[in-house]
């Protein structure tokens, strides 16, 4: 009768001839070598309860000192392998789950989780830990998103502030450049409506060579005094030019005998590329010879700029934080007298300062003071 023994390494039931007792045999599955022992005679193993041919369970022993029932043993029909050994859990999956919980190591946890999934899939069912690896990947992604959101919350405002500061710096430099070119334009008497040789200040479109010079001429400034980027008939077509997140508008006097406070801009005073604007009245020419008012304000308040700026013939840039009146885009533009002290009018009064309030309710101060 054949000897039936279990391999001490993998648990496989091995059958050996009866004369192999005491000899060294080799497991046909794992090739482990072990000594074949002749098993002691034993009662045949009964099938599990409920299986065909199984005897009804005997009642448990009663009374003091009764021996406990023997432990249940798995029924292994002859010729069948014993249950396989437990599958190991992937160490990478465990490491991925642990590292995913820490902000600093979450990227490494994501990498290890992916590597663990690949290794588990390649093991063809010989390795556990797929759930741990997936949990590590998910937690690592959540942690990384949390880190990215914190970085974005810090970086985006700083980027907006940098962009705003750059736009405001450009606006200040642009105002100074235009004021310098206005002085040259007037000195060259490009526009001299009363023929006295003094010359008047020009409109933005005239300085940019966009519209013909006043009054009623077909002559363009050539070369132009400022960039054609300040063509006022372009994107907005209402006497407003745009550059680097800021809008620009220039005012000149348009006074008459009946209204000494009247003002005009490119749209009302200028012509087109072939015909200059109308001649100014006798009351408007002296103020046009002595001054202009140029404003710059953000296209979008807060995102492209938080301050408005002003310059006139004096050449000093003033600014306001717009604590009262907000200027943005073409929906809210400063009036010609906005920066002049409250109660005064454009071209005929002093500019507001930090200790006074302008006609718009804002406090205007020299830009260098910020």
Last residue of a domain, one of 134, 154, 174: 154
Q: What tokens were used for 180?
A: 């310098």
d(CA 218, CA 168): 36
Last residue of a domain, one of 129, 154, 179: 154
31 with 100, same domain: the answer is no
Please name every residue paired with 305 in a beta bridge, in sequence order, or none if there are none.
301
Task: Name the domain count of the chain.
Answer: 3
Tell whether 283 is covered by a domain.
yes
134 with 189, same domain: the answer is no
149 with 9, same domain: the answer is no
d(CA 46, CA 16): 23
Please name every residue paired with 320 in a beta bridge, in sequence order, or none if there are none.
308
Tell whether 281 is covered by a domain.
yes
Last residue of a domain, one of 102, 129, 154: 154
233 with 145, same domain: the answer is no
146 with 8, same domain: the answer is no
Task: Return the pLDDT at 162.
Answer: 80
* DSSP structure class, residue 368: G
144 with 193, same domain: the answer is no
Per the CB < 8 A criterion, the answer to whether 106 and 147 are in contact is: yes
Tokens 């070598």 label which residue?
33
Tell whether 59 is covered by a domain.
no
Q: What tokens were used for 344?
A: 């005064």
Residues of the chain with pLDDT under 50: 61-66, 72-77, 79-80
Tell whether 41 is covered by a domain.
no
pTM of the model: 0.62
178 with 293, same domain: the answer is yes
What range defines the domain where residue 361 resides? 165-369
Tell whether 261 is covered by a domain.
yes
CA distances from 344 to 6, 83, 105 (A): 110, 101, 66
Compute the CA torsion angle 351, 294, 270, 333 (nearest 10 deg): -90
Give me the phi and psi of 257, to 5 degrees please: -65, -25
309 with 214, same domain: the answer is yes
Tell whether 141 is covered by a domain.
yes
142 with 176, same domain: the answer is no
118 with 171, same domain: the answer is no
Task: Return the pLDDT at 237.
Answer: 66
Give me the phi and psi of 235, to 5 degrees please: -60, -35
* DSSP structure class, residue 18: G
197 with 149, same domain: the answer is no
**Taking Cα atoms as reference points, which of 214, 238, 243 lies closest to residue 228?**
243
Tell whether 58 is covered by a domain.
no
Task: Return the pLDDT at 1.
Answer: 61
137 with 211, same domain: the answer is no
Task: Return the pLDDT at 133.
Answer: 85
Tell whether 347 is covered by a domain.
yes
């Amino acid at each position: 009768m054949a000897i039936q023994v279990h391999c001490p390494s993998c648990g496989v039931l091995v059958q050996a001839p009866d004369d192999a007792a005491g000899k060294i045999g080799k497991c046909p599955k794992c090739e482990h070598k072990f000594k074949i022992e002749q098993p002691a005679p034993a009662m045949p193993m009964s099938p599990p309860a409920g299986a065909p041919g199984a005897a009804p369970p005997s009642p448990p022993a009663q009374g003091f000192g009764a021996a406990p029932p023997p432990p249940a043993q798995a029924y292994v029909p002859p010729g069948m392998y014993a249950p396989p050994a437990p599958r190991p859990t992937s160490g990478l999956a465990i490491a991925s789950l642990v590292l995913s919980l820490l902000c600093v190591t979450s990227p490494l946890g994501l990498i290890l989780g992916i590597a663990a999934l690949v290794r588990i899939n390649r093991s063809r069912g010989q390795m556990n830990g797929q759930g741990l690896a997936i949990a590590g990947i998910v937690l690592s992604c959540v942690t990384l998103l949390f880190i990215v959101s914190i970085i974005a919350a810090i970086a985006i405002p700083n980027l907006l502030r940098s962009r705003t500061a750059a736009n405001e710096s450009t606006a200040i430099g642009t105002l100074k450049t235009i004021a310098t070119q206005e002085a040259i334009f007037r000195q060259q008497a490009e526009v001299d409506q009363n023929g006295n040789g003094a010359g008047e200040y020009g409109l933005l479109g005239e300085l940019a060579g966009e519209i013909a010079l006043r009054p009623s001429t077909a002559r363009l400034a050539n070369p132009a005094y400022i960039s054609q980027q300040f063509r006022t008939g372009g994107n907005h077509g209402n006497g407003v030019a745009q550059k680097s997140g800021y809008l620009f508008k220039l005012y000149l006097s348009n006074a008459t005998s009946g209204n000494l406070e009247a003002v005009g801009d490119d749209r009302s005073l200028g012509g087109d590329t072939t015909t200059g604007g109308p001649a100014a009245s006798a009351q408007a020419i002296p103020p046009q010879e002595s001054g202009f008012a140029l404003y710059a304000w953000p296209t979008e308040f807060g995102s492209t700029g938080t301050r408005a700026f002003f310059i006139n013939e004096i050449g000093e840039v003033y600014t306001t934080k717009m604590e009262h009146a907000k200027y943005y885009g073409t929906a809210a533009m400063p009036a010609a007298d906005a920066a002049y002290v409250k109660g005064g009018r454009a071209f005929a009064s002093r500019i507001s300062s930090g200790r006074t309030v302008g006609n718009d309710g804002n406090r205007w101060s020299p830009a260098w003071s910020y």
